[in-house]
A = this chain, B = another copy of it.
């Protein structure tokens, strides 16, 4: 088995344990046992527990970012970009409920190196939204575009938390609510939009 493949399989195991048991209750020993390897193998591939957790979060965020960006860029109209990008996001939560726990589950504050890295990973996702906004908010400052990007990102995060608790609400309705509010919010910045 190649090193890359082995690392991905270890990440699968670590992701499952962190999501199902929480961070505190998961050890490198648990990951090794569940993966059927020795602890040194886990340390070699993922580093220590903090490194393993960060690798799990980074992989989940990278997938989400790629799906959202690819979906948005598959169309040209700004409102359609918003709709299909948001649709891809909620589809990801819907199909990967365990990853939702990694992204948005309840949590307790963590400081130091891991806390800083987790913040960076969170901000990295916002930068992907900022990249998409830059295509349309051409007359606005970088500060404005970032403010809008963070507001949008946070809105969708909390909508995701709520949706997971309200599984009877259809995917299309949560997408509609999000698009309606955020497109209305973007209207001062995208003045030439055609009337719906």
Given A157-B158, A181-B185, A186-B181: A108 in contact with B24 (beta carbons within 8 A):
yes
Per-position contact with B for A161-176: 1 when CB-CB < 8 Å, else 0? Answer: 1100100010001100
- Among A19, A24, A155, A183, max chain B CB count under 10 A is at A155
- The answer to whether B150 and A158 touch across the interface, beta carbons within 8 angstroms, is yes
Is the beta-carbon distance between B147 and A151 smaller than 8 angstroms? no
Q: Please classify how large the interface on chain A is, using the bins under 10, 10 to 19, 20 to 34, 35 or more.
A: 35 or more
Report yes or no: B107 in contact with A101, Cβ–Cβ below 8 A.
Answer: no
CA distance A148 to B177 in the complex (A): 7
Known: A105-B115, A106-B115, A115-B105. A159 touches B150 (CB 8 A): yes
A51 within 8 A of B: no
Q: Which of A5-13, A34-42, A116-124 lies on the face that meets chain B? A: A116-124
Check A97 for interface membership: any CB of B closer than 8 A.
Answer: no
Please report the C-alpha to C-alpha distance between residue A183 and residue B20 in the assembled complex, in whole angstroms: 39
A110 with B106: CB separation less than 8 A: yes
Of all chain B residues, which has the CB nearest A183? B185
Q: Chain A binding site: helix, strand, loop or mixed by DSSP? A: helix
Does A89 interact with chain B (Cβ within 8 Å)? no
Q: Does A53 contact B (CB under 8 A)?
A: yes
Q: A155-B155, A181-B151 are in contact. Are A109 and B161 (CB under 8 A)?
A: no
Q: How far is the CB of A23 from chain B (nearest CB, A)?
A: 4
Please list the 9 inter-chain residue pairs (A to B) with the smallest Cβ-Cβ separation, ordered nearest first: A154-B158, A107-B107, A23-B108, A185-B185, A106-B115, A181-B185, A147-B177, A155-B155, A105-B109
